[in-house]
């Protein structure tokens, strides 16, 4: 008898569970902050492909990626949900990477502006509470410097303004 082995069965159940629109709406109602929820038309929830290929042709995949129209009707927000049962010190970086990949795909699909991508870590590990930061800037050795670099406008070396 050949049984198909699933290395992470909890992951499959999680994906199936949150692929149900009504379940996802309930999940978002509980876990999305009010300011994000206020923008979302939850009736428009749609599961999107969370499979991304980077420039080295490596495939990586988020667990669940939803798009949801805004109530203003002129755009949408992605909600990215990553399931984790074991603590990962760099999970915040992984969520940022998936968020950036969703933005990149959005642009590649012909859109002209970046969408908001709201990541949620669904943690159900044995260690409680989740032991690591969910802020990607905490993944850097020098957090203050990283924050300065990545939350401020980049330095512009505009040589067109130099006198000849």
Considering the entire predicted model, what is its pTM? 0.81
Supply the pLDDT for residue 5.
39
**Residue 91: its H or E element:** helix 91-108
Supply the pLDDT for residue 13.
67
Tell me: the pLDDT tens digits for 69-83?
Answer: 999 876 788 888 888
Cβ–Cβ under 8 Å, residues 118 and 38: no
Query: Does residue 121 carry a pLDDT above 50?
Result: yes
Domain boundaries, the chain: 9-132
Query: Does residue 23 carry a pLDDT above 50?
Result: yes
Domain 9-132 has CATH 3.40.1350: yes
d(CA 78, CA 65): 7
Supply the pLDDT for residue 50.
59
Name the token pair of 159. 């040589």
Q: What percent of the chain has pLDDT over 90?
A: 54
pLDDT band at 127 (very low <50, low <70, confident <90, very high): very high
């Amino acid at each position: 008898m050949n049984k198909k082995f699933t290395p992470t069965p909890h992951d499959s159940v999680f994906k199936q569970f949150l692929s149900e629109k009504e379940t996802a709406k309930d999940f978002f109602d509980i876990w999305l902050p009010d300011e994000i929820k206020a923008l979302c038309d939850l009736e428009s929830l749609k599961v999107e492909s969370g499979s991304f290929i980077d420039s080295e042709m490596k495939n990586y995949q988020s667990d669940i990626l939803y798009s949801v129209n805004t109530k203003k009707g002129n755009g949408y927000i992605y909600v990215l949900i990553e399931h984790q049962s074991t603590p990962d010190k760099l999970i915040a970086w992984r969520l940022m990477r998936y968020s950036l990949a969703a933005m990149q795909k959005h642009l590649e699909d012909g859109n002209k502006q970046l969408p908001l991508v709201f990541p949620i870590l669904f943690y159900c590990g044995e260690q409680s509470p989740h032991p690591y930061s969910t802020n990607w800037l905490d993944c850097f050795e020098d957090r203050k410097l990283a924050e300065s670099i990545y939350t401020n406008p980049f330095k512009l070396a505009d040589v067109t303004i130099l006198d000849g």
